[in-house]
Amino acid sequence: MADTAVLLISCPDQHGLVARLANFVFERGGNITDLDEHVDPDEQKFALRIAFDLAGFSLSKAQLEAAISALAAEINADWSLNYLQNKQRVAIFVSKYDHCLLELLWRYQQQEFPIEIPLIVSNHDDLRPIAEQYGIDFHVFNINKDNKAEQEQAEIELLEQYQIDTVILARYMQILSPQFISAFEHRIINIHHSFLPAFIGGNPYQQAFDRGVKIIGATSHFVTNELDEGPIIEQDIVRISHKDTVEDLKRKGRDLERLVLARALRAYSQHRVLIQGKRTLVFE
C-alpha cells in the first residue's frame, strides 16, 4: 500500500493559499484524501492540514521535504510533514490507577491508533500484570525527593533506548521536571479532572461534592513547565445530579478521563493537532 503524507502548516493569511497548496500536491501526482483549513480572523493566521496519497507521486520523500521547505520560506510558514506508515512509538506512564491505561491498551489492541506501544513506565509495581497481559515491557522507577533527578535521567535514557516519540501520562501521579519536559517538548500528553484550579488538593471529588457542582469535566493537554496549563487537546463534561454520591462523581470522572485521553491520543497520532502559542487547533 502507498504511504500517506500529512502536512501541517501555518502562516500569515494570504490570498490563494488553499489553491496553492492543493496545486502543489496535484502537480506532483499526489491524490488529496483529506483537507481542512482555518483562518484566525483576529490574528490573520492561516492553518491547514492536508493528507495525500503518495502512490504515483513524482518526488521522493527527501525531494518532497525540500520542496515544501522552499514553499514554506516563500509564504513565511511553519510546517511539519509526517507519514502515517511511520507509526509513532509511544510510552505510557502510570502510577496505580488503571482506567486510562486499560482504555488505551484496549483501543490499541483494536488498532484504533496508528502507533506502537513498546513500553509502560511506572513509579509502582501494581499495574505490571496488565502490561504482561498485553505483552508490553514494564519498568518501575521508585521516585522520591532525594532521587528524582537521577531517576528521571534513567527514564529519559530508557525512552531513548526504546526510541520513544511520545509520552502519555495515563494518571501518572508525579510532576515532571523541566529537564524531562525539555527532552520531550510538545510530545508529552497528560489527562486530569477539570476541577482545577477551583478544587486543589488530594480529594477534589469530595470538595466538588461539598460545593454542589453540576458538571464534571476532564482535560487532556500537552505538558509544559506551567503545571496543568499546557495547550489543550481535548475536553468533555458530564452533568451531575443531586442524587449522585461522591463515588458516583468519581465513577463519572473516570469515564471522562479515559475517553478524553483516548480522543486526544487518536487526534495526535493522526497528526491532527497543531500548537499555536498556548492553544491548539485540532483538525477534524
Q: What is the mean pLDDT of each run of 10 residues along the chain (284 residues)?
A: 88 96 96 96 95 94 96 97 95 97 97 96 98 98 94 97 98 95 97 75 84 91 91 95 93 95 97 94 95
Superfamily of domain 88-282: Formyl transferase, N-terminal domain (3.40.50.170)
Sign, CA dihedral 67-73-75-79, equals: positive
Q: How high is the pLDDT of residue 197?
A: 60
78, 10 in Cβ contact below 8 A? yes
Parts of the chain belonging to CATH 3.40.50.170: 88-282
- Please state whether the predicted TM-score (pTM) of the whole model is above 0.85: yes
Q: What's the rounded Cα separation, in Å, for the pair 68 and 76? A: 12
Q: How high is the pLDDT of residue 1?
A: 47
Parts of the chain belonging to CATH 3.30.70.260: 4-83
Burial class of 72 by CB neighbour count within 10 A (0 to 12, 13 to 18, 19+): middle
* Fold for the domain defined by 4-83: Alpha-Beta Plaits (3.30.70)
134-189: pLDDT as tens digits: 999 999 999 998 999 999 999 999 999 999 999 999 999 999 999 999 999 999 99
Helix/strand number for the chain, H first, E second: 8, 13
SS3 235: strand
For residue 41, list its beta bridge partners.
none
H or E element in which residue 84 lies: none
100, 189 in Cβ contact below 8 A? no
What is the pairing mode between strands 4-12 and 45-53? Answer: antiparallel
Q: How high is the pLDDT of residue 256?
A: 95
Q: One of 13, 36, 126, 228 is an active-site residue; which one?
A: 228
Q: How high is the pLDDT of residue 267?
A: 97
Question: Residues with Cβ < 8 Å from 42, sequence gap 6 or more?
Answer: none
Catalytic, 228? Answer yes
Q: How high is the pLDDT of residue 4?
A: 94
Alpha helices in the chain (DSSP H): 17-26, 61-75, 99-109, 128-133, 148-161, 178-183, 204-211, 246-269
80, 273 in Cβ contact below 8 A? no
Residue for cell digits 513547565?
225
**What are residue 188's phi and psi, to 5 degrees?**
-120, 125
Q: How high is the pLDDT of residue 275?
A: 95
